[in-house]
Structure 1
Amino acid sequence: MRLRLLLLTGISISTILFSLNSFTVKTVLPAEEGRELFIRYCTTCHLAAEPVSLTKEIWKNHVLPVMASRMGLIYPGYDPLRGLSAEERAIVNKAHIIPDQPVISEENWKKLENYVLKNAPDSVALDEKRLTRNAPLKQFEREDIQIDRTSPSLITSLKYNPQTRTLWIGNFYNKVFTWKYYEGVTQTIDTERPAVDFNFSPNQTYFTEIGKLYPTELSTGSYAFFSSNKAEPMLTT
């Protein structure tokens, strides 16, 4: 009995010593921690980008200040609401797009920031494949057409109606043009907002208007039908 007790005690002590000797503590290096923070926080809003996709200058002066503001940290001298109207500011504040309280500590943000800037390049190499994108067309010949004299053209929509053989063209300046081959522009239509799409039915044409083309929190888009040389809103956002 005594021998059995001694054997059990010896086995227990050996097991404990073996466990202590084999136990290792994983040390997280600063760079790894910065990457983990980058992935954890950035993927809550969008797919994670790689730091190498943009230059240090763009990350530092443009992207990181915006990212930080969306997590409740404001860079000195940076106003995330700059350029917004009073109405847009009210919408942003009501939706808490800029959090009232930071969702990340300044210490962790600094680690995230350092990781990005350390891995971002000073410049991005030119993709030389893009240089050959404008090779001469072989299937058909290009022919320039005159729509109007506004420059730059800023086309927002382009759709062909096969029933009437008419090309519908919308632009940033709240204009819609109809164009036919051999005839040119056959109609100019004023819209309240830039048209970004057209839907055709046998007796009617419908416009999808985007509101403001630049990013905005305002709900100013509409779905309109074309009547008497004018777009009449049916649905508004």
Structure 2
Amino acid sequence: MRRSVLNVGQACSLSHRVSLLGRVWLSLLTVLPSTWGQTEPATTREFQRGKELAQRYCATCHLFPDPNLLDRSTWQKGTMPFLRGRLGIDRLDPTDPDHRVVLDEWQLVWKYYFAAAPEKALPLGPRAPIQMDLKRFSVVNPGYRPGQRFVTLTQIDPATCRIYVGNAQTKTLDVLDASGKLLSSLAVESPPVGLARRSSGWFCTLIGRVPPHDQRLGKVIQLDNKGDTFAWRADALANLGRPTHSAFGDLNGDGREDLVVSGFGNIMGELAWYEQRSDGGYIPHVIYDRPGAVRTELFDFNKDGHLDILVLMAQAKEGIYLLLNNGHGQFTEKPVVEQHPVWGYAGFQLVDFNKDGFMDVLTANGDNGEYPSCLKNYHGIRLYLNDGQTRFREAFFYPLNGAFKAVAADFDLDGDSDIAAISYFPDYESSPEESFVYLENKGGLKFDAFSFPESVSGRWLVMDAGDVDGDGDPDIVLGAANRTPYKVNPALYEKWQNDGPSILILKNEVISGRRSPARRIDCGL
């Protein structure tokens, strides 16, 4: 693979690149006793030394994770055992003098976090209370329930009044009408996570396997479309490492559309752009040789005539990065926002939220999927406003446990942007209505929050917004992934399995019973 000029060789990740002291030899076969890491309380001297070591080593690859970020139980039972496995600590030999130094210092770091972490997770900050009155929407359960309700894609096509749904269980790309009736189904090799209509046809991104893995099973396939039916045409890209998103645009000015693929991966991964050749094939160029790329958006941020890349990165070195394009497919990195490694970035949207002509960034961070974890008071929805000089400031934060996606649109048609958000890891015990929240803009970045009783009828992994019924206002489609290893109340899980929908359609009733004069589509409703 050709490499971009962006130097990312120094950008390491705890999840795949470095050892605690640069001396963790992953080839060692000796395994520590199972009691290793069961520590006695730290003395004052041990605490201070552990703090120094943590600040030195834990900040090598990402921002330093303060002990307050997690409660004591999560550090002890989740984070530190997870890191111990990733770093190869369990394979070191306590009888080897060099390894003994590493193990002793690891033990001090462990003791520091265990002593400094709070007994209980820090509570959420103030937020607009969630009212159980989704007055602008009617809830439609279309009865579409393939397999075990594991939806990986929901996408509204306003041009045809169709809903495209990807399913992990059945490995299909399904086409539904505006009422949620199944019209056709295309069997594919692995779960679809993205679909894009381009001038040369349709492109579908296949993840390979949904759980984190490092097998190169992903693909971007090209599809033919006739009416409501898709058919496979060709593999555009193959052997991809767990791709979660694809973006399209001419990055080198040759008149051909290139692809940017977010290869999230697991321990390994990459962000790469694929230069389209004159024969239709692609030449890969790696930008980031590390895991965690969630999604990209292409836009000319500095108005130099070249498409730039905005990428959301997770997996330890979490952040939003602007990759400024020199016009030849070579990029200069400009960090927009950098966060600590348990931030949990899950999605973002590029949108001119305040209508000032500059593209802003709406983010959701709430991923708790690597191991059982406490609730986190920094999870939620954030809006970063662009000052026109590609400087972004946080202008709004709505605390939301387990936030997974946020979409901005003018849902009430009053001229400003509202926000729809889903949570995949809500507080099911105290605030299950966090599963879906509609934030109605009241002006001045003040919002009222709403949900609905059926929001707990599924565990929403994906969401899209758009006018699916042709009446001129944006609707919402939620997609559920209910069959997961993450623990919930057994009664709720049983309800999901027996009665849970695969999708819910939230039909916007702002324009009720009539089509917008601007629309020329009969959706059959």
For this structure pair, what is the TM-score category when the shorter chain's length is used for normalisation?
A: 0.5 to 0.7
Contact 1:190-1:230 at 8 Å conserved across structures: no
- Which residue number corresponds to residue 93 of structure 1? none
2:180, 2:74 → 1: CA distance? 47
- Which residue number corresponds to residue 213 of structure 2? 216
The offset of 1:106, in angstroms, is: 1.6
Distance 1:102 1:67, change over 3 A: farther
- Which residue number corresponds to residue 164 of structure 1? 160
- Which residue number corresponds to residue 137 of structure 2? 140
Distance 1:112 1:134, change over 3 A: farther
Counterpart of 1:73 (choices 89, 111, 116) is: 89
1:185, 1:70 → 2: CA distance? 43
1:130, 1:155 → 2: CA distance? 30
- Which residue number corresponds to residue 76 of structure 2? 60
Distance 1:143 1:66, change over 3 A: same
1:190, 1:131 → 2: CA distance? 43
The SS at the match of 1:63 is helix
Aligned residue type for 1:170: G
1:180, 1:208 → 2: CA distance? 22
Distance 1:130 1:222, change over 3 A: farther
Superposition pairs of residues 1-237 of structure 1, within 5 angstroms: 29-74=45-90, 105-124=102-121, 127=124, 132-133=129-130, 135-151=132-148, 153-173=149-169, 174-182=171-179, 184-201=181-198, 204-227=201-224, 229-231=230-232, 232-236=234-238, 237=240
Distance 1:143 1:217, change over 3 A: same
Q: Which fold has the larger relative contact order, with Cα–Cα distance below 8 Å and residues 6 or more apart in sequence?
A: 2
Distance 1:103 1:214, change over 3 A: farther
Q: Deviations over 1:173-192 (max 9, x none)?
A: 21211111247221112111
Q: Deviations over 1:52-108 (max 9, x none)?
A: 3323333223321222233331189xxxxxxxxxxxxxxxxxxxxxxxx96971221
Aligned residue type for 1:192: E
> What CA RMSD, in Å, does the superposition of the two structures yield over aligned residues?
3.1
Distance 1:235 1:158, change over 3 A: same
The offset of 1:204, in angstroms, is: 2.8
Distance 1:129 1:226, change over 3 A: farther
Distance 1:220 1:46, change over 3 A: farther
Give the TM-score of the pair, scaled to structure 2: 0.32
Distance 1:47 1:54, change over 3 A: same
Give the TM-score of the pair, scaled to structure 1: 0.65
**Unaligned ranges ≥5, structure 2:** 1-43, 93-97, 241-525
1:172, 1:126 → 2: CA distance? 35
Distance 1:55 1:222, change over 3 A: same
Contact 1:71-1:104 at 8 Å conserved across structures: no
Q: Deviations over 1:102-126 (max 9, x none)?
A: 6971221111100111122333255
Distance 1:192 1:144, change over 3 A: same
Contact 2:142-2:180 at 8 Å conserved across structures: no
Contact 1:157-1:195 at 8 Å conserved across structures: yes
The SS at the match of 1:142 is strand
Distance 1:202 1:71, change over 3 A: closer
Aligned residue type for 1:54: L
1:104, 1:196 → 2: CA distance? 45
Aligned residue type for 2:76: K
Contact 2:49-2:108 at 8 Å conserved across structures: yes
Aligned length: 185
Aligned residue type for 1:74: D
Distance 1:116 1:157, change over 3 A: same
2:138, 2:150 → 1: CA distance? 23
The SS at the match of 1:121 is coil
Distance 1:30 1:183, change over 3 A: closer
Distance 1:40 1:171, change over 3 A: farther
Structure ID, larger Rg: 1
2:204, 2:141 → 1: CA distance? 25
Aligned residue type for 1:189: L
1:104, 1:158 → 2: CA distance? 51
More helix by share: 1
The offset of 1:220, in angstroms, is: 1.0
**Unaligned ranges ≥5, structure 1:** 1-27, 77-100
Q: Identify the range of structure 1 (159-168 vs 43-52) with the bigger mean alpha-carbon deviation.
A: 43-52
1:210, 1:163 → 2: CA distance? 26
